Structure 1
Amino acid sequence: MSMPIPTDDDKDELLLSCRYGDLEDIKQFVEKFGSHSLNDIRDENGNCVLHMVCGNGHTECLDYLIDKVSPTLLSIQNNAKSTPLHWAALNSHLPIVQKLVQFPKGPGVDLIDVKNTAGRTPLGEAENVGWEEGANWMVGVMNLVEGNSKEEEDQVVDNPADIEVEIQDAEGQVAKMKIESVFL
């Protein structure tokens, strides 16, 4: 027996339930229409169910939905190219940010590097709203070494004065720092 197909009203109700954190209504939708139907539902701005729960900090709803939706939904971009992680960072929801980045079947730390139409990553959104806790957490888990092979990463440096570090912020500005030897 196949599941019924949700109407536009059913889809709108689901998005509202996700927005307001009504877990029981979300569960009823999944029981009636199946979890597969969650993947294709968007509002007029391209937001999916994860945008709604993540942007509003509904951890219990995310816990329920994250295993029911396609892992590709974690990196889906709305019309402004923002992902659910952008929304969670913009609204300072650390448990949501952590769950999205640490979800084993998802894109992981690569989510932190996705830019929206404003040119900001989720880290940039956190910095833009002054959310230090979230920005620090994301910097702590992200891949800061780009393009280096495993051999280059494992090199032992005899003279630390030869090390120069480059860090790029959310606006694309690059800061360079030279590590100087303290051993004489």
Structure 2
Amino acid sequence: MSRPIPTEDEKDEVLLAARYGDIEDLQQFVEKFGAEPLNDIRDGSGNSVLHMVCANGHTAALDYLLGVVSPSLISAPNAAQSTPLHWAALNQQLDAARKLVECPAGPGAALIDAKNTAGRSPLGEAENVGWEEGAKWFVEVMSLEDAAKGEGEEELRPADAADQIEVEIEDAEGQVARMKIAPPAQQSKPENR
């Protein structure tokens, strides 16, 4: 016997249940329709049930959903390319953020590097809203291996003009000054006079 297909109203109701952390309604939906439809249900902005529970810090509902939805939903972006972890960061929900990153079936710390259309990662969102505790935690758990691999290589490579950064500064009167800034190894030392 196949399960019924949820109507648009039933999909809206399960999104509300996730938003408010109503585990009983979430469970009833899964009993009636199975867990599979939860993977595809989105609101008008592309937010999933995980976006809803993470934004509002409903960790018990998050625990339940992580046990029934596809692991791919953990990193599924909304229309603005924000993942559920972005929403947890925006709303300062540390427990939800931890559960997403630490979920054994999920992508782990790689979630912290995902960028939304504003160009911000969940760490960037945490910093943007002044959430020091969350930003500190993201930095503690994020993978810094790739950055560490290239550190020594940079020091061995000679600096050249391509390494310079060109900066334009406009003052209050509209005057523009341009300058090039070189890495420390390329900058000349001041003469002693």
Q: Give the TM-score normalised by the residue count of structure 1.
A: 0.80
Q: How does 1:138-177 map to 2 (within 5 A)?
A: 138-146=138-146
Task: Count matched residues.
Answer: 156
Q: Secondary structure at the match of 1:100?
A: helix
Cα shift at 1:147:
6.3
1:48 corresponding residue in structure 2: 48
Q: Deviations over 1:138-183 (max 9, x none)?
A: 100111131666xx99x9xxxxxx8xxxxxxxxxxxxx9xxxxxxx
> Which amino acid counterpart does residue 62 of structure 2 have in structure 1?
L
Q: Deviations over 1:12-37 (max 9, x none)?
A: 00001111111111111011000111
1:83 corresponding residue in structure 2: 83
1:26 corresponding residue in structure 2: 26
Cα shift at 1:50:
0.3
1:129 corresponding residue in structure 2: 129
Q: Secondary structure at the match of 2:82?
A: coil
Question: What is the root-mean-square deviation of aligned Cα atoms in Å?
Answer: 2.2
2:175 corresponding residue in structure 1: none
2:98 corresponding residue in structure 1: 98
2:6 corresponding residue in structure 1: 6
Cα shift at 1:5:
0.5
Higher-Rg member (1/2): 2
Q: How does 1:101-116 map to 2 (within 5 A)?
A: 101-116=101-116
Write the distance in 2 (CA, Å) between the matches of 1:143 and 1:49.
Answer: 27
1:68 corresponding residue in structure 2: 68
> Which amino acid counterpart does residue 35 of structure 1 have in structure 2?
A
Q: Deviations over 1:91-126 (max 9, x none)?
A: 011110000001011000000000000000000000
1:117 corresponding residue in structure 2: 117
Write the distance in 1 (CA, Å) between the matches of 2:147 and 2:95.
Answer: 30
Q: Alpha carbons of 1:92 and 1:41: their partners in 2 closer, same or farther (altered >3 Å)?
A: same
Q: Secondary structure at the match of 1:146?
A: helix
What are structure 1's unaligned runs of at least 5 residues? Answer: 156-161, 163-175, 177-184
Write the distance in 1 (CA, Å) between the matches of 2:104 and 2:82.
Answer: 21
- Structure 1: which 4+ aligned runs deviate by more than 6 Å? none
Q: Secondary structure at the match of 2:69?
A: coil
Write the distance in 2 (CA, Å) between the matches of 1:62 and 1:147.
Answer: 32
Write the distance in 1 (CA, Å) between the matches of 2:23 and 2:117.
Answer: 31
> Which amino acid counterpart does residue 123 of structure 1 have in structure 2?
L
> Which amino acid counterpart does residue 3 of structure 2 have in structure 1?
M
Q: Deviations over 1:48-72 (max 9, x none)?
A: 1000000111001000000110000
Q: Give the TM-score normalised by the residue count of structure 2.
A: 0.76
